[in-house]
Amino acid sequence: MKPIDQVRETAERISSMEIRGAGRIATAAAASLKEYALSVQAESLDDLNQKAAQAADLLLKTRPTAVSLSNAIRMVMKYEAEEIDDARQAIASNADRFIENSRRAVEKIGQIGSRRIRDGDTILTHCNSNAAISVISAAHRSGKKIQVIATESRPRFQGITTIGMLDQMGIETELIVDSAVRTVMNDVDLVVVGADVITANGTLVNKIGTAQIALCAREARTSFMVAAETYKFSPMTILGELVTIEERDATEVLADISRYRHVRVRNPAFDVTPHQYIDLICTEAGAIPPEMSYLIIRERLGWDMEEESI
């Protein structure tokens, strides 16, 4: 396989959601760029830089919402080198560092977030988030007796992945359809969800349905926690950029749309939860109120206002 075909294949697996989850797509992209940088033929340093940038672009276009992808690619592609081999090594070690930091961040989020869970709590989660599951599993491992309510998360049913993971850990779990959230909310002590994007003002962009859950939690006075690595925060939102909400194929919702003449399917993959509905964002840098998101972007992502492109 040509080196660029490996990148194309990874991009295809991310687009089709064979590889999914904001964290996983970021680490898959970093690993793909590393492999590419180490194997592609290059005639000069410029040639390598250009080829790596093209490969990065292929990966970047796969999922338009997840900022984890652009943050990962920006971190991997941040290098200065005088020789081709130095550039290859710099990309490879940046990718390794990103992947290792990501793994550690999820672990740390679990430790920090689990302290907010009390013995006997019922936790509701949506979709399938590694960061959210890390919080739940850390609470379970620390000996707290907890139950989880997991939504199906239509149309891709990531909730089935979640119940499988929780089941493996021996955690008591109930599966509900997405529309049952309000019905069960009075039984819930804490909502824990992941994040695809957190903006400079603490707004959360996450799997479609999250905003409705936040609304129900607010009505029931139930705490709403977001579990997110700091690379889920979006630097570009400081510069006023809006988050693009990915619209996926209609067939994910309705297989046979052709038999209807007047029907159109809308399939937005994510929705927007205002920061007022979020009690806490649990990151590897600590548990913060959403209003502190700006500082996370400036301090953890080292974002410079001059740096307008990735």
Q: Which two tokens stand for residue 186?
A: 């009075």
Choose between 74 and 126: whose C-beta lies nearer to ligand RI2. 126
Choose between 146 and 197: whose C-beta lies nearer to ligand RI2. 197
| 194 lies in the site for ligand RI2, by CB under 6 A | yes
Residues 249-288 close enough to bind ligand RI2 by CB under 6 A: 269
Which of 21, 110, 235, 290 touches ligand RI2 (CB under 6 A)?
Answer: 21
Which of 158, 162, 203, 293 touches ligand RI2 (CB under 6 A)?
Answer: 158
Q: How far apart are the C-alpha atoms of 229 and 113, rounded to whole Å?
A: 12
Residue 228 DSSP SS3: coil
Choose between 8 and 24: whose C-beta lies nearer to ligand RI2. 24
DSSP annotation of 243 reads P
Q: What are the two backbone dihedrals, phi and then psi, of residue 144, each rounded to the nearest 5 degrees?
A: -75, 140
Residues 117-136 close enough to bind ligand RI2 by CB under 6 A: 127, 129-131
Least distance in Å: CB of 191 to ligand RI2? Answer: 12
| 199 lies in the site for ligand RI2, by CB under 6 A | no
- Catalytic (active site) residue 282: no
Q: 190-193 and 122-125 as β-strands: parallel, antiparallel, unpaired?
A: parallel
Least distance in Å: CB of 197 to ligand RI2? Answer: 9
Size of residue set near ligand RI2 by CB under 6 A: 16
Q: Which two tokens stand for residue 288?
A: 């913060």
Contact region for ligand RI2 (CB under 6 A) — 194-202, 213-221, 236-244, 283-291?
A: 194-202
Residue 283 DSSP SS3: strand
Q: Among the options 121, 127, 178, 216, which is catalytic?
A: 127
Least distance in Å: CB of 224 to ligand RI2? Answer: 13
CA distances from 201 to 32, 57, 205 (A): 32, 28, 12
Least distance in Å: CB of 90 to ligand RI2? Answer: 26
Q: Which two tokens stand for residue 50?
A: 């250009």
Using CB atoms within 10 Å of the CB of residue 59, give its burial: 0 to 12 exposed, 13 to 18 middle, 19+ buried: buried
Choose between 110 and 194: whose C-beta lies nearer to ligand RI2. 194
Which of 62, 114, 151, 206 touches ligand RI2 (CB under 6 A)?
Answer: 206
Q: How far apart are the C-alpha atoms of 279 and 232, rounded to whole Å?
A: 17
Q: 270-273 and 204-207 as β-strands: parallel, antiparallel, unpaired?
A: antiparallel
Using CB atoms within 10 Å of the CB of residue 254, give its burial: 0 to 12 exposed, 13 to 18 middle, 19+ buried: middle
- Catalytic (active site) residue 96: no
Which residues form the interface with ligand RI2 (CB under 6 A)?
A: 20-23, 127, 129-131, 158, 193-196, 206-207, 269
Instruction: Just list the catalytic residues.
Output: 127, 196
